Every structure is written in structure tokens, then in C-alpha cells.
């Protein structure tokens, strides 16, 4: 592992892209890094593991978006993390989680999990099924400070709650029933039918990252497909319109 590893936020923090003065910068899905194994196909929006691109080290406090497809019975054995807020969203299938805090759960579509690695935590993640693959997004966000007490939350947000609108699922201070994150950042999700649109107002001085998990949309007129992401600055109003059934993530960042 190189010394720019995501496990070294003190190294990565100063290298986060800011793109000041650029309104929307698109990161195409096919340009992402890739890790392949007999049980894993993982696409990396930002540098991760053996994939290193100094132009894509993260955006603001957002450090990792990994788009993982895990084969039946496959998974990540017990391994450590520290000083990172880790969010897991399952798009299809089921993911089994266990950690050193004694938590054990199965994460399914509509569920969101937040884990504070803090001073140190160990966990494992395996495909819960021996027959079907699991498709998930794992997201890492730098915390407001190092050495936090490790913690864990998981909650189900019904997909019909996000139909045609943004639903905040992770935010500081447990806002509106969202999971708590230790950073000035929030995550909103939306599920859109073809022709349906959702708008989001970005406050002055805030930034956004929009990730298309599935489907296809336009973002303020820019066409995006599954796997594409977009860094947003100096753009007060975001309008996303679906061209096909789509699932979206929007990060509101300081």
C-alpha cells in the first residue's frame, strides 16, 4: 500500500480537489480506476488501493466512492480502519456486516449504514447470498477530527420515500432522522422515474458531488449515466431529470 492510502487522511486532506470557479466538472464512469478479482469487480471514482491518480484524490471531505460488485459467497475478510466516516449503500442484493464493536447485520436495498472508524475499528463484509451477486457503493468521508470514538448506525429508508425528491439520509446532528456523520457534510438520495426531476438548492460557499448509481439523467443539462459523477461549485440550483429509471446520490459539502 502506498503512503497516500485512504487510511492516511492527514496525507490526503490537503490534496482534495476544490475546482473553485468551475461550476460542473464531470467524472465519467468508464474513466474510473478498477480492481478485479475472481469475486470482486470494483470501480474507484478516486484513488484507492493500487489505483493512483493525483488528479482524482477526492473532492472536499469526500475521499472514496467505490462501486463494488461482489460475487456470491465472496467478500472482504476482517480488516482495520481508522479516522474515516464510512457509508455503505446497497443497490442490489444483500451484504453481511460484522465488526469489532459487536454489531452484525445484513444491509439490503433501501438501507444505509454509517460507521465511524475513529480511533480504530475492525470489520468484515461478505455477500450474504451464495447464489446472487451484491452491488453496493462504499463511501469514505474524512471526519472533522481524528481519534473519534468508533460508532455504528444502520437504518432503512424506503425507496418510495425518495421518489421524485431528495431525501437526506446522512447528516450532522441526526437531522430529520438521518444517520449522524462527524463532518460538515450530508448525503441525500433520490429515485426517479423517466421524465421525473428533482431539484436541490446549494447554499453560498457550499459544494456538491452528484453520483449516478443506476440509470441515466441530465444534471443542469449535462448528460450523466450510471457510474458518472459530477463535482459542483458556484451553482446555486441543481436540477436532475431522469431519462430512465435512476438512483442518485448527492453530497452537500463544506
**Across 93-158, where does the E strand assignment appear?**
95-99, 104-107, 111-116, 121-127, 134-141, 151-156
The pLDDT tens digits for 217-249 are: 999 999 999 999 999 999 999 999 999 999 999
Q: Is the model's pLDDT at 3 over the cut of 80?
A: no
User: With bands split at pLDDT 50, 70 and 90, how would you rate the model's confidence at 20?
Assistant: very low
Provide the sign of the torsion angle of the four alpha carbons 103, 109, 111, 114, taken in this order.
positive
Angstrom distance (rounded) from CA 177 to CA 93: 25
CA count, 13 A, side-chain hemisphere, 199: 4
Total Cβ atoms within 10 A of residue 173:
8
Judging by DSSP bridges, how do beta strands 111-116 and 179-180 pair with one another? Answer: unpaired
Domains of the chain in start order, with CATH, are 17-253 (2.60.120.10)
Angstrom distance (rounded) from CA 125 to CA 99: 9
Name the grid cell of 115: 460507521
> What is the dihedral angle through the alpha carbons of 6, 12, 17, 20, rounded to the nearest 10 degrees?
140
Residue 222 near residue 241 (C-beta atoms within 8 A):
no
The pLDDT tens digits for 126-167 are: 999 999 999 999 999 999 999 999 999 999 997 666 667 999
DSSP secondary structure code for residue 131 in this structure: S
Q: What is the DSSP string of 213-242?
A: EESEEEETTEEEETT-EEEEES-SEEEEEE
Distance of CA 86 to the CA centre of its chain: 8
pLDDT of residue 10: 37
The mean pLDDT of the chain is 91
Q: Is the model's pLDDT at 203 over the cut of 80?
A: yes
pLDDT of residue 160: 62
Angstrom distance (rounded) from CA 59 to CA 18: 6
Residue 85 near residue 182 (C-beta atoms within 8 A):
yes
Higher pLDDT, 20 or 227: 227
Percent of the chain residues topping a pLDDT of 90: 86
> What is the dihedral angle through the alpha carbons of 156, 76, 66, 71, rounded to the nearest 10 degrees?
-80
3-state helix, strand, coil in the chain (%, to 5): 10, 50, 40
Amino acid at each position: 500500500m502506498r503512503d497516500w492510502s485512504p487510511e492516511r487522511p492527514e496525507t490526503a486532506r490537503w490534496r482534495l480537489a476544490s475546482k473553485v470557479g468551475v461550476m460542473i466538472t464531470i467524472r465519467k464512469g468508464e474513466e474510473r480506476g478498477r480492481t478485479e478479482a475472481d469475486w470482486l469487480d470494483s470501480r474507484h471514482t478516486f484513488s484507492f488501493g493500487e489505483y493512483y491518480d493525483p488528479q482524482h484524490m477526492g473532492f472536499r471531505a469526500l475521499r472514496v466512492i467505490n462501486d463494488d460488485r461482489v460475487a456470491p459467497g465472496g467478500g472482504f475478510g476482517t480488516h482495520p480502519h481508522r479516522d474515516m466516516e464510512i457509508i455503505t449503500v446497497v443497490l442490489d442484493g444483500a451484504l453481511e456486516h460484522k465488526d469489532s464493536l459487536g454489531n452484525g447485520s445484513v444491509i439490503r436495498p433501501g438501507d444505509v449504514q454509517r460507521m465511524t472508524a475513529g480511533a480504530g475499528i475492525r470489520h468484515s463484509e461478505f455477500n450474504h447470498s451464495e447464489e446472487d451477486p451484491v452491488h453496493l457503493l462504499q463511501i469514505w468521508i474524512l471526519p472533522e477530527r481524528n481519534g473519534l470514538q468508533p460508532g455504528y448506525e444502520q437504518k432503512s429508508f424506503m425507496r418510495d420515500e425518495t421518489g421524485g425528491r431528495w431525501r437526506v439520509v446522512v447528516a450532522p446532528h441526526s437531522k430529520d432522522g438521518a444517520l449522524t456523520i462527524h463532518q460538515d457534510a450530508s448525503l441525500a438520495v433520490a429515485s426517479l422515474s423517466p421524465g421525473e426531476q428533482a431539484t436541490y438548492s446549494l447554499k453560498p460557499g457550499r459544494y456538491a458531488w452528484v453520483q449516478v448509481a443506476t440509470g441515466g439523467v441530465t444534471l443542469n443539462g449535462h448528460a450523466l449515466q450510471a457510474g458518472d459523477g459530477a463535482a459542483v461549485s458556484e451553482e446555486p440550483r441543481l436540477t436532475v431529470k431522469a431519462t430512465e429509471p435512476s438512483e442518485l446520490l448527492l453530497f452537500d459539502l463544506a
